[in-house]
Amino acid sequence: MSDLLLVVFDLVLLVGLLGVAWRCLASTDLFRAVVLFITFGLLLALAWVRLEAPDIALAEAAIGAGITGALLLVTLERLRSIVVERRRGQPDEPPDPAGADALLHALHDPPPPRRTFVPALTFALVVGGLMVTALWHQPDAVGLEPVVDEHMDVSGVDHPITAVLLNFRAYDTFLELAIVLIALLGAWSLGRYDRLPARPAPGPILPGTLRLLVPVAIVTGVYILWAGSHAPGGAFQAGAILGAAGILLVLARPRDLPMAPSSPLRLGLAAGVALFLAIGIVGLLIGPGLLGYPPAWAYPLIIVIEVAATLSIALTLVALFIAGRPAGDDR
């Protein structure tokens, strides 16, 4: 009975995922598409829970649905203000379809009617075919689980996911951290700090609620970071929660946002990557190889890296939300 119910639940979840994804892609209204994207992220997190992957579920809910949703919304708001400004200049002139603003107008106006389904159909057939083939030839192997279990005692932590992410496959995690940093450098190279177009909510309600929620978010973030060594959790999830608290603070008082001093901010942003790389190079010099740790030191080193990574991820996410590099920084 309960098995049947679970199957029904899974089927409803699957249909919901596909339906929301389709509506999100097919929507010509960007705001609706963003909201549907957030909905999709939450449903996806639920799917990861059903697949018994709570680590990924946490990351998907916090980063995929929460932070990415906030980034998309603020991008949309900026695009809107740009479009409104440009339209004010030439009110009656129809937009030049090949002009410099074509992309902006394309984002704002409904797209031209579709002429042919051939490219989409070809793409769907190729990707679908590849996926079916991949599933068809699934090997019977149990994967890398026994190998990981065998080496848990030298990993320095008790949670296999953290052992893989921060020890056995530390290289991947290092590159992920580097990508987050590079994304911020890309955003900074495009523009200087300017005020958020998001309108601050008047009244005491939002700041009052944040006084309640931000301490809770900090405690939760630190707990998730700490839990990573023996249970689902870790630097990315903790960083996303702390980053979300930062974004809420930015939204509550965008007018008098104190700018972080430049050098400590940069140190904080780079701390994760820098420390990870430094420890990795030391590992290369003293024996265990690049990004390897001596087993006796694995636990403290992993904790140090995770703390630095959490700080960097949280700061980077807030900085990405603000988007521009700090003012008065053009030396």
Partner 1 sequence: MIANTLTVILILAGLVFFAAGTAGLLRFPDVYSRLHALTKADNVGLGLVILGLMLQAGGPADILKLFLIWVLVLAAGTTAAHMVAQRTWTHGEFESDR
Q: Give the CA angle between residues 130, 134, 136 to the nearest 5°.
A: 115
End-to-end CA distance of the chain: 69
Q: In whole angstroms, how close is the CB of 89 to partner 1 at the nearest point?
A: 20
Complex with partner 1: residue 78 or 108, whichever CB lies closer: 108
CB of 205 to partner 1, least distance (A): 5
Residues lying near partner 1 in the complex (CB under 8 A) = 28-32, 108, 110, 199, 201-203, 205-206, 209, 212-213, 216
Measure the CA–CA gap between 151 and 167, rounded to whole angstroms.
Answer: 11
Under a CB-based contact definition with an 8 Å cutoff, are residues 321 and 184 in contact? no
Are residues 262 and 309 in contact, defined by beta-carbon separation less than 8 angstroms? no
For the bound state, the minimum distance from the C-beta of residue 106 to partner 1, rounded and expressed in Å, comes to: 12
CB of 200 to partner 1, least distance (A): 10
Tell me whether residue 32 or residue 253 sits nearer to partner 1 (CB atom): 32
- Give the C-alpha distances (Å, rounded to integers) separating 17 from 7, 30, 41, 49: 15, 19, 9, 14
Dist. CA 149–CA 63, nearest whole Å? 28
- In this complex, which beta carbon is closest to partner 1, that of residue 34 or of residue 319? 34
Rank residues 94 and 110 by Cβ distance to partner 1 and give the closer one.
Answer: 110
Q: Would residue 21 be called left, alpha or beta, if left means φ above 0 and alpha means ψ between -120 and 50 degrees?
A: alpha
Q: Are 261 and 315 in contact (CB under 8 A)?
A: no
* Nearest-approach distance from CB 110 to partner 1, in angstroms: 6
Residues 246 and 317: beta-carbon distance below 8 Å: yes
Give the angle subtended at the CA of 53 by the CAs of 50 and 56, to the nearest 5°: 115
Question: Is 80 or 266 the residue whose CB approaches partner 1 more closely?
Answer: 80
Nearer to partner 1, 91 or 202 (CB): 202
How far apart are CB 122 and partner 1 at their closest, in Å?
Answer: 29
